[in-house]
Every structure is written in structure tokens, then in C-alpha cells.
Structure 1
């Protein structure tokens, strides 16, 4: 049903999501500079990273397969929350998210030698109010250490989410409906 692709991501969550919809894929490791360029808007930033990852994977494979790249960021008050550098940074992020809503942006790009396509999905996620004890206990689980915004909705961080408006799978790391359509359109245009 789907074309075979390469996934330019080390994320186990993205692998699981592709497996969930039965996409045949191989993994290609890429190293992309994730620094912001000037006063880049959050959507432009995450879209650029997804495209850069897909392009780096395609170049590494000498354009042998279409390559899917993706990136996810958490945005509050137009500020991007990356992965926490330490416990203090994590606590700062959780205090920003506590008792309010924020955006999770996930961009997806599909690249080959002759074409590229992609999309960016925005999901609103609302947290309940968090106590200092909630924040400290969550840090101790180890889960927040490598997560954008310091939490994983599919793990223990999901207990803080009281409402979501949009794509759950996009918050996890790959919007399934949009990825399905991207792959179907790709195949139709082949």
C-alpha cells in the first residue's frame, strides 16, 4: 500500500507510529544542526529541520529511497521549549506549562531526488496545574530528559494533560493522518 521509505530519525516513537500504520521503512542516521537561524518563527524552524533531516538522509542514501524527516517542538508564548539541559531548566519549562495551554508543532517532510513535499501540524495541549512535588517526581522518572518541552504525552507526562485539541500522534512525534496522506499522494504522483 505504501512505498518503501527511509526514516531519518532515531526516535523510537516515530518508528512505532510508522509500524502502527504499516509503512515499510529502514532507518538512516543523520546529524543535522538544530540551531535556530536568526529570529525564525517556530513553524518555519520546525519545518526547516524536518526538511533538512529528510534531505540529509536522501543524500546519505544517494537518493535511493524517499526519505521521511520529522521534527517536533513545544511552543509557549511564541518561545520554543527544547529538551531540558538540566533539572533547573526542566523545572522552568514545567512552571511555564503548568495550568495553561501550549502548542506542539510537528513538521514532516518527504524528499527524493526529484521532488519533496511536507506539512506542519499544530496541536493545542493543555496542562493541569502542577505542584513543585509533581514536577520533582516527574524529573526523577528520567522520562523528561530527552523530550521536547520536557514531557512525553505517551508516557508518564500524559497524566498532566487535561485537554488536547488536534492530533495526539503529532504530539507523540508523527501525525499519522497527515503522514498517510503525504505517502498516498507521493505514490500517486510517482
Structure 2
């Protein structure tokens, strides 16, 4: 359906995430990928979805001057938010294990913002999902980090991997948001832009 509506548009997905690429394929949205390096730093006073909104918009700045009339640029950012702190991607196995220990037995939030930029407008949507982990054992945490190496995942885990299968007891909100893209919001926004 979207493919037909967007036939006169070129969608540029500024993300290297294989999960986001797969979502666009599953939604039957033709796209090209263009990823540009951005220093992902935001002001300390930002909280929750303000952080992901800021970073998704920051990623769009590298393209803004050159977008053509028929192009829609899509940038996004996802964070795990636990105990009033944003958790990015772990740099080491030790950091990934610490992150999972801090999420064990608790409910945290996952925020994703998606920014849509055209040559003459910009809009940003965001989504929050609450995720609850059971009490994870050290053995479970070590097994997951050593076998799945979640160093490209916010909060040190992917919900669709082993740790999610055995450890997540409750989800409130969009599952796909936790994987990395609130697909229902992307769909609605692209309909508006078509």
C-alpha cells in the first residue's frame, strides 16, 4: 500500500541497523541507505524522549541542505532509560554485563524517536515501551553477553535474542519499538507525507 502512495518519493534511511532495514522491507517501503557519521552528544539536561528526539534530529542535519523535493530522509535514535539515566551501547563485555545487572528484576523504558525531513519540513515522532526483566542470574547474563555480543544494542540487549526469550516477563507498549522502530508511527507518518 505504502509503496504505491510513495511511488513519486525517494526514501533515504539514514541507519546502518539491519533490524531497521528489515522493518522497511517488511513494510514494503522501497528505500536507499545513506549513513553519515554524527557525534551523538546531547545536552545533559535532556530527559527521556527529549534525548532521542534531539539525536534523531541531529542525525538529519548532515543531509538538510541537499535534500531534493521528492526525497524523505528518515533518521532515528533508540535509548534504554533506567533509573533516570539513558543507557547507550556498551563498549565492552564488562559494560554490557553491568547494564544487564542494572536492568535485572526491574522495569525500564525504551524510547525511540524517528525524524522525517524533507526539503521544506521536519517532523519527529516518538514512542515509549516499558520492559520488565525477571531477576537474571550472573550465569544467564554472562552466557548472553559472551555468545551474543550485544555491543551494538542500546542497554546491552536485544529483545528478540536469547535474553529476551528467557528474561522478559512483561512489555507495555510496542514490541517493535524495543527492536528499534515504532513501525506503526512510521507507517502513519509516511502516509501523511505521501
8 Å CA contact 1:143–1:152 kept in 2: the answer is no
In structure 1, the residue matched to 2:192 is 185
1:16 and 2:31 are equivalent in the alignment: no
In structure 1, the residue matched to 2:161 is 155
Greater shift, 132-141 or 34-43, is seen at 34-43
Give the SS at the match of 2:150.
Answer: helix
8 Å CA contact 2:129–2:171 kept in 1: the answer is yes
2:107 and 2:63 mapped to 1: Cα distance?
A: 34
1:56-95 paired onto structure 2 within 5 Å = 56-59=62-65, 62-64=66-68, 65-95=71-101
1:171 and 2:171 are equivalent in the alignment: no
Give the SS at the match of 1:66.
Answer: strand
2:163 and 2:37 mapped to 1: Cα distance?
A: 27
* Aligned residue pairs, count: 185
* Unmatched 5+ stretches in structure 1: none
In structure 2, the residue matched to 1:39 is 45
* Unmatched 5+ stretches in structure 2: none
Q: CA deviation at 1:51?
A: 1.3
1:45-60 paired onto structure 2 within 5 Å = 45-59=51-65
1:126 and 2:132 are equivalent in the alignment: yes
1:19-60 per-residue CA deviation (whole Å, 9 max, x = no partner) reads 11111110011111111313221211110111122332344x
1:113-155 per-residue CA deviation (whole Å, 9 max, x = no partner) reads 1011121100001111100100110111133111100000122
How large is the RMSD of aligned CA atoms in angstroms? Answer: 1.3
TM-score (norm 2): 0.91
Q: CA deviation at 1:10?
A: 0.5
8 Å CA contact 1:143–1:156 kept in 2: the answer is no
TM-score (norm 1): 0.92
8 Å CA contact 2:42–2:54 kept in 1: the answer is no
8 Å CA contact 1:152–1:158 kept in 2: the answer is yes
